[in-house]
A and B are shown apart, each in its own frame.
Chain A
């Protein structure tokens, strides 16, 4: 087993986990319900670990990403529907991430986030245009280690461990049921994100994974997503420790700049700004690439971050267009946290579409040979699909009843 590959994979998953969606939903959960909503993060973390493992296995054995295999196996009609929904959600989440980076720059400089939208767009585009997949993936992951500050701060402030343990078990709320359910659904939307699944598989193809990489895949998916979930839990715990006692329900990022100042009086503000900016920048890179991957795999174009742009022009054009469209939201002055919460709810609505084909694909010898799903993984994917279907039905009504 290649230890370097394994550690880089875990690091990438771990450090790339925290972005606008998980920060916003975890903060709102902690501020409004203290530790009571830790369980959706745990549940979402388990689900995404199973799903990314399957996506990686399909790529390593079948040499196809999920989107391409879905097109082949289910035909153009179903596929067109699923891909359109996937791309729309990618676009909205990308808009939220660009807003998050711009907001971090506003926090750092005092200059309104709308002025930062175009520079952020150019920086993202240049990184994608000039960078290679490994450099982008691992560079962002190493920078993303700054987000470990959330875990250190949560430990430093000393949470109520009994309440933390109770929060890991699903239970009904004592007040404000609609909002509790809405935030729980949003957390699941932020965690079980379709882009994470397709990006992971496409990344495995970029890195030319084969059958020998299956153990690495299993450990990367399990440990990486597990550590990532711990990071999101740390943000929730901080929300419970810093905002809940004051009765603050943050629905705008500008309210959250003091999150780390209690734990780190001198550098807390800078650490928060750095974590928000780097986390969102990394996610924006992954989402932009994912729009290119999904479109290219859907239409059978050539794709690959390591190819020269002239060799996969339509792939590059897709992520360029996605970046431009997503930037318009920030230019229009849409508050990033509100956009994030809406995009998380919409993610949940379309979630069953990209997940459903996995049940068939991961049991089809033509795609995964002898490495088909076992009883446990099949039970897991059926359970995840069941959860996704229920969430898809209730997400929009909950957005209206419980969204801020």
Chain B
């Protein structure tokens, strides 16, 4: 490979790396989109578990997985500098959603279907708030 070709490869690699990093606002919008999808997944899993269409161990795995993903989203938004547009609006429902996922995990572990059912409207409301925040942060898919 000659010098020119090598330089071109490096420039392309750098350009792709920069594009991968993205700007913080875009990252937050993506995190919110993912959180909204996670909230919807949580509700679908809760509904299937409540009607005994899925086994306990899968419900437990799926809700824990949603919880991990939500915690990651919270961290992404927390990394935004204070005062960034949408940060405060997004953070509260995201944290609440992560907390709700933890409570659902607990309910599944206790086989407490009544507590899980009681959490459903809370998760629905939080999902709406996260979708609104995602739209405010510039997401086109939320």
Chain A count of residues within 8 A CB distance of the other chain: 29
Give residues of chain A (199-245) contacting chain B, Cβ–Cβ below 8 Å. none
Q: Which residue of A lies closest to B139 (CB)?
A: A176
Contact of A110 (CB < 8 Å), options: B20, B57, B140: B57
CA distance A258 to B59 in the complex (A): 10
Residues of B within 8 A of A400 (CB): 16, 19-20
B-contact 0/1 string along A261-296, CB 8 Å cutoff: 100011011000000000000000000000000000
| B54 contacts A269, C-beta separation under 8 Å | yes
| B44 contacts A248, C-beta separation under 8 Å | yes
| A107 contacts B34, C-beta separation under 8 Å | no
Q: With both chains docked as a complex, state the minimum distance between the C-beta of B121 and any C-beta of chain A, in angstroms.
A: 15
| A179 contacts B53, C-beta separation under 8 Å | no
Residues of A within 8 A of B65 (CB): 252, 254-255
CA distance A151 to B45 in the complex (A): 22
A-contact 0/1 string along B14-26, CB 8 Å cutoff: 0010011000000
Residues of B within 8 A of A250 (CB): 37, 41
A175 within 8 A of partner (CB): yes
A374 within 8 A of partner (CB): no
* B interface SS class: helix
Residues of A within 8 A of B48 (CB): 258, 261, 269
| A265 contacts B61, C-beta separation under 8 Å | no
Q: With both chains docked as a complex, state the minimum distance between the C-beta of A94 and any C-beta of chain B, in angstroms.
A: 24
Give residues of chain B (37-90) contacting chain A, Cβ–Cβ below 8 Å. 37, 40-41, 43-45, 48, 51, 53-55, 57-58, 60-62, 65-66, 69
Contact of B53 (CB < 8 Å), options: A251, A252, A268: A268
| A258 contacts B54, C-beta separation under 8 Å | yes
CA distance A397 to B58 in the complex (A): 36
| A247 contacts B44, C-beta separation under 8 Å | no
Q: With both chains docked as a complex, state the minimum distance between the C-beta of B55 and any C-beta of chain A, in angstroms.
A: 7
A-contact 0/1 string along B126-142, CB 8 Å cutoff: 01000100000000111
CA distance A266 to B20 in the complex (A): 43
A378 within 8 A of partner (CB): no
| A396 contacts B131, C-beta separation under 8 Å | no
| A248 contacts B45, C-beta separation under 8 Å | no
Q: With both chains docked as a complex, state the minimum distance between the C-beta of B130 and any C-beta of chain A, in angstroms.
A: 10
Q: A247-B131, A261-B48 are in contact. Are A269 and B53 (CB under 8 A)?
A: yes
| B40 contacts A248, C-beta separation under 8 Å | yes
Residues of A within 8 A of B127 (CB): 247
Q: Which residue of B lies closest to A249 (CB)?
A: B37
A106 within 8 A of partner (CB): yes
Residues of B within 8 A of A252 (CB): 65, 69
Q: With both chains docked as a complex, state the minimum distance between the C-beta of A82 and any C-beta of chain B, in angstroms.
A: 19
Q: Which residue of A lies closest to B16 (CB)?
A: A400
Q: With both chains docked as a complex, state the minimum distance between the C-beta of B113 and any C-beta of chain A, in angstroms.
A: 16
A246 within 8 A of partner (CB): yes
| B33 contacts A249, C-beta separation under 8 Å | yes
Q: Which residue of A lies closest to B12 (CB)?
A: A396
Give residues of chain A (340-379) contacting chain B, Cβ–Cβ below 8 Å. none
| A265 contacts B57, C-beta separation under 8 Å | no
Residues of B within 8 A of A257 (CB): 45, 54, 58, 62
A109 within 8 A of partner (CB): yes
| B58 contacts A396, C-beta separation under 8 Å | no
Residues of A within 8 A of B55 (CB): 110, 269
Give residues of chain A (46-96) contacting chain B, Cβ–Cβ below 8 Å. none
CA distance A32 to B141 in the complex (A): 8
CA distance A32 to B34 in the complex (A): 12
Given contacts A254-B62, A255-B62, 13 further A-B contacts (CB under 8 A): A106-B61, A107-B61, A110-B61, A179-B141, A246-B41, A249-B34, A252-B69, A255-B41, A255-B66, A257-B62, A258-B53, A269-B53, A400-B19
Q: Which 6 A-B pairs have the closest CB atoms?
A: A110-B57, A246-B40, A261-B53, A254-B65, A249-B37, A248-B40
* 10 cross-chain CB contacts under 8 A: A248-B40, A250-B41, A254-B61, A255-B37, A257-B45, A258-B54, A261-B48, A269-B53, A400-B16, A400-B20
